[in-house]
Amino acid sequence: MKNTIYNWKSFDNLDFFAQLWSNDNKPKAIVCLVHGIGEHSSRYNDWAEKFVDNNIFVLAFDYRGHGKSEGKRGHINQYEDIMKDIDMLLSKSKELFADIPTFLYGHSLGGNFVLNYLLQKKFQLKGAIVTSPWIRLAFEPPRIKVKIGKFIKSIFPAFIQSTGLKTEQISRDINAVEKYKKDKLVHGKISVQLFFDAFDAGFWASENIEKLNTNLLLMHGGGDSITSPKASEEFAKKSEGLIDFKKWEGAYHELHNEINKDEVFSFINTWLNKQIVK
């Protein structure tokens, strides 16, 4: 497997770290990956290798405020900035692989971004994959904290708070949890602006499913205590046959790092191959 590093400039002149996992063959598809809150694209190296072994290249970036890219940690000025960043990711993919089927893949907060992108934008895609999306959280934030947070957002939207993520909840694989804890590029920060933008965008997506015009594989772990598997299931039921939904019983938040990750990948790969030949 080959790993090619790119340095991109965002629309507002931030330096973005990006990378491509590939081989020497002509790919049968390109997967453009959008990672989750507090993490970065290099956490997906082993996952990307599985795609490349099946001749599917993976292009990803660390979006603003994450990983090796610039920007205040865990903060965005407005939700539309992320939509523009995904525009750039897909445009760069088309520059590199003009005639290759393209798929957009988002995990967790990245799943929130990807769902909203699919509902708002008209970029031509062969399909999309979304895992454990933040449509709703798996828990109800205390009302008093929400009220205080909204007040802080009105006067200081870049105020940073802890995500409150408990690392043991990401996977049943102890090794994956320990690797996450030791990763120096991982952070547990989220601004009140990003929190409420994502919170509102999750509800907006659930109420605007009729805007979807792309085939979508939506998957969630039944044991996810970070984002709501029930919200994903309800979202899929609202679609007009465009969504294939899969709940992995007992699995936690990061399906790509779960103890049954090989089975999860095989499911994704089968779905991708069916879309490619359509």
Distance of CA 172 to the CA centre of its chain: 20
**pLDDT above 70: residue 246:** yes
Pick from 36-40, 118-122, 153-157 the range whose average pLDDT is largest.
36-40
DSSP readout, 178-211? HHHHH-TT---EEEHHHHHHHHHHHHHHHH-GGG
Interval 211-228: pLDDT, tens: 999 999 999 999 999 999
**pLDDT above 80: residue 256:** yes
Give the largest CA-CA distance in the chain.
55
Are 247 and 260 in contact, with CB atoms under 8 Å apart? no
Phi–psi pair at 192, nearest 5 degrees? -65, -30
- Binning pLDDT at 50, 70 and 90, where does residue 144 land? low
Which two tokens mark 127? 């399909």
According to DSSP, residue 169 is labeled G
Mean pLDDT over all residues of the chain?
95
Output the pLDDT for position 124.
86
Output the pLDDT for position 237.
94
**pLDDT above 80: residue 95:** yes
Q: In whole angstroms, give the CA distance from residue 29 to residue 252.
A: 28
Which residues make Cβ contacts (< 8 Å) with residue 187, sequence separation at least 6?
A: 38, 66, 73, 74
List of domains in the chain: 2-276 (3.40.50.1820)
Higher pLDDT residue, 219 or 139? 219
**pLDDT above 80: residue 142:** no
Output the pLDDT for position 123.
83
Which two tokens mark 14? 């931030």
Section 63-73 average pLDDT: 97
Higher pLDDT residue, 96 or 241? 96
Output the pLDDT for position 140.
73
Each as own residue / partner, the long-range contacts of residues 94-101 (CB below 8 Å, 24 or more positions apart, any chain) are 96/20, 96/30, 96/59, 97/27, 97/30, 97/57, 100/26, 100/27, 100/28, 100/29, 100/30, 100/57, 101/28, 101/29, 101/30, 101/126, 101/275, 101/276
**pLDDT above 90: residue 84:** yes
> How many CB atoms within 10 Å of residue 239?
15
Which residues make Cβ contacts (< 8 Å) with residue 252, sequence separation at least 6?
A: 169, 170, 171, 172, 221, 223, 224, 225, 258
Output the pLDDT for position 14.
98
- Binning pLDDT at 50, 70 and 90, where does residue 108 land? very high
The SS3 call for residue 15 is strand
Amino acid at position 21, single letter: W
**pLDDT above 90: residue 3:** yes
Amino acid at position 164, single letter: G
Output the pLDDT for position 201.
97
